[in-house]
Structure 1
Amino acid sequence: MTLFAMRGWNGLMAVLRWSSIVVLAFMMLTIFYDTLMRYTFSAPTSWSLEINSFLLVYMAVVSAAEAQRHDAHIRITFFRNKLPIRFQALLGIAAGLLGVLFCGILVWRGGLMAFKAWEYGERVSSAFGTPMVYPYALIPVGFGALALQFLIDTLSTCHQLARPTIQRDNANDENPEP
């Protein structure tokens, strides 16, 4: 990818990362407030559970691309690590393409859900009455970012597979080159 595109992507990831931090801090404050009101004053809030449920969805889907970017998702690598490096790379490419396909489907379906919620004016049936277009819109945004990260990872793996770096152990090399 071009340097300009990667800078833009890094900037978007920074915005999503910091917004997730702010959302987490807000969730902590509102849950503390609701707990205080509920158990100290016997006056629970009517909005805390609803808002924090939607913010939890935000944390899950928006942070997924950042987790993928830092290779922080949980996976079992015992068998994969026993395979040759080239086959591991091919498996990585296949997984990345499947990830892009899966995320693409979720972007499409999530976008349809958000559009329908906006079109019909759907709201949560609670006192707060949150418009459902907002939580539904998180799905295409989060999975769109995850799809782009899968694509970046896949292209990076393809590039590494096409131009493998030679790693040598100079301590075991008879005639090291300067």
Structure 2
Amino acid sequence: MVNTYILVVNNLSRALAVLATLLLITAMLVVCQMIAVRYILRMATIWQTDFVVFTATAAIFLGAPYVLLKGGHVGVDVVELMVGEKTRRGLRIVASFLGLLFCVAMLVASWIHFHDAWAGNWKHSSVWAPPLWIPLAALPLGFGMLCLQYIAEILKLFVNAELKAPAPAVGADALGQIPAAHTLREIPR
């Protein structure tokens, strides 16, 4: 049951990562179109800037669960490298619970903001004036999925669930980290 939850959440995070990638590609294409319209055709642009900002922002929030899944969030691991495995595991559990607590608070706040935009029929203040609930929907969706991914990461720590973990890189330690060159006995050539 736990492994099924972890697998489903991991796959949902991967699906949102694909969506985030498509949003970034779309934003990039719109920037190219905007440059062509503005500087080659010498015409005004109306919707492009807002669209790019909204899609890039949505990509950030929708891609965050995948980044957590892959361990790509910025972290300071100096303390983690100096302690034993048991302490390291405890630090990861505490950090995951704190991250989950932050994401729950952000989920609630972003849901309230999204709901207010939906109920109040808020519009963006630009000439294009899209309904704001559309770009704001990415925030509660992203934070909700980030909460689910944090729960999956916590469950992995408690039950040591390893779902087809990739093999560590050649020369990597037990955590899959490649040591710095100064810690190697011989510098690879």
Q: TM-score, normalised by structure 1?
A: 0.84
2:179 maps to none
Moved more, 64-73 or 143-152: 143-152
Shift of 1:159: 2.1
Partner of 1:119: 119
Contact kept, 8 Å, 2:13 with 2:66, in 1: the verdict is: yes
Identify unmatched segments of 5+ residues in structure 1. 161-166, 168-178
Question: Could you say what secondary structure the match of 1:124 adopts?
Answer: coil
Output the CA distance in 1 between the equivalents of 2:95 and 2:75. 12
Write out the 4+ residue segments of structure 1 that deviate beyond 3 Å after TM superposition. 1-4
* Deviation at residue 44 of structure 1 after TM alignment: 3.5
What is the CA-CA distance between 1:11 and the residue it aligns to?
3.3
Alignment of 1:51-90 (within 5 A): 51-90=51-90
Tell which structure's C-alpha radius of gyration is larger: 1
Residues 70/130 of structure 1: CA separation in 2 closer, same or farther (3 Å cut): same
What's the % identity of the aligned pairs? 23
CA distance in 1 between counterparts of 2:4 and 2:83 reads 36
SS at match of 1:45: coil
Question: Cα deviations across residues 49-87 of structure 1 (Å, max 9, x unaligned)?
Answer: 101111111111111100000001121212221011111
Unaligned runs of 5+ in 2: 161-173, 175-189
Structure 1: distance between partners of 2:11 and 2:73? 21
- Whole-angstrom CA distance in 2 between matches of 1:89 and 1:11: 24
Aligned residue for 2:59, secondary structure, equals helix
Q: After TM superposition, give the deviation of residue 22 of structure 1 in Å.
A: 1.2
Decide whether the 8 Å contact of 2:104 with 2:147 is kept in 1: yes
Q: Deviations over 1:91-146 (max 9, x none)?
A: 10011111111100111111111111111110001121111112222111101111
Q: What TM-score do the two structures reach when normalised by structure 2?
A: 0.80
RMSD: 1.8
> What letter matches 2:147 in structure 1?
A
1:44 corresponding residue in structure 2:
44
Aligned AA (1:134) = I
1:91 aligns with 2:91: yes
